[in-house]
Amino acid sequence: MSASTIRKAKKLVESGGVEQLEPNLFQIRSSSDPSKSYFVESDTCECPGFKNFYKLHHGKGLKANCSHLEAVRIFKEQNKS
């Protein structure tokens, strides 16, 4: 994962762009268009970057990631009880 993905993810969390709807369902505001948001459920994101990842790396055994999934990971880390 690139450093810019992590930077973007941190910014999303810090700006309150991550909202937990259900234990495994999060709504993440799009960093490029604040009027848009993406839903992250478990390890899946509905953004184009996430979907393209599997198209580009199909069958290589890699796990897709995007700034939204990373933001959820950081969010969970910060909200651990």
Stretch that binds Zn ion, among 4-12, 14-22, 54-62, 63-71 (CB under 5 A): 63-71
Find the angle CA(48)-CA(51)-CA(55) to the nearest 5 degrees. Answer: 125
Q: Which is nearer to Zn ion, 14 or 48 (CB)?
A: 48
Residue 7: which residues within 8 A CB-CB, separation 6 or more?
Answer: none
Task: State the nearest-atom distance from the C-beta of 3 to Zn ion, in Å.
Answer: 17
Q: Which two tokens stand for residue 64?
A: 């897709």
Query: Taking CB under 5 A as the rule, does residue 9 contact Zn ion?
Result: no
> Does the footprint of Zn ion cover residue 18 (CB under 5 A)?
no
47 binds Zn ion (CB under 5 A): yes
State the maximum Cα–Cα separation within the chain, in Å, rounded to a whole number.
Answer: 37
Q: Which residues bind Zn ion (CB under 5 A)?
A: 45, 47, 50, 66, 68
